[in-house]
Amino acid sequence: MAEASKKTAQTGSKAKKASGKTAKPAGKSAAKSLGKSATPEAILLPEGYRPTDDEEFMNPMQLAYFRNKLEIWRAELLNEATETITDLSQENLHRPDQMDRAQIESNAAIDLRTRDRERKLLQKIEAALRRIEDGSYGYCVETDEPINLRRLEARPIASLSLHAQEQHERNERIHRDD
């Protein structure tokens, strides 16, 4: 099955090169019109697959790749949260030395702060997975322009294009000073 997916992707890429034209991204509306037939769940990715600009933007293989990446990231965060809960419940705060107890409490506060940040990150991961489901993943929520694949590779939860993110941060700085 992976061989067939790989051959299909290579054949499509060769066909584009042979015709001399590159397919333009159709945008969010075209991605939504594909419906459930384009769900990335049924796609087996070839070993070592990485999305490239030569492929059609947000094709089923790319969606499967990013879904897999997000689900692995979510599983790691949930595993770390479980470990923190286990560690905190097993720690003994009844130490005779106040310095030991203070250090344990300080470490626990840092762990809890980290988990809170990760909880917010989990919400962003869930939102990205929902965008994959509804066909809007990979497109800027403000401009509907495709988000660069390198940006998505580095930050798979990105919902804004680089330009829109920069504008958002500029506006944030301006209004923060008020």
Q: Are 121 and 102 within 8 A, CB to CB?
A: no
pTM of the model: 0.69
Alpha carbon distances (Å) from 142 to 104, 111, 138: 45, 35, 12
- From first to last of the 178 residues of the chain, give the pLDDT tens digit: 444 444 344 434 333 333 333 333 444 444 433 433 444 456 888 899 999 999 999 999 999 999 999 999 999 999 999 988 887 777 665 666 777 778 888 888 998 899 999 999 999 999 999 999 999 999 999 999 999 999 999 999 999 999 999 999 999 988 876 5
Q: Are 136 and 31 within 8 A, CB to CB?
A: yes
Domains, the chain, ordered by start? 56-137 (1.20.120.910), 139-178 (no CATH)
Give the separation between CA 43 and CA 102, rounded to whole angstroms.
51
Q: Which of 133, 130, 136 is nearest to 36 (CA)?
A: 133
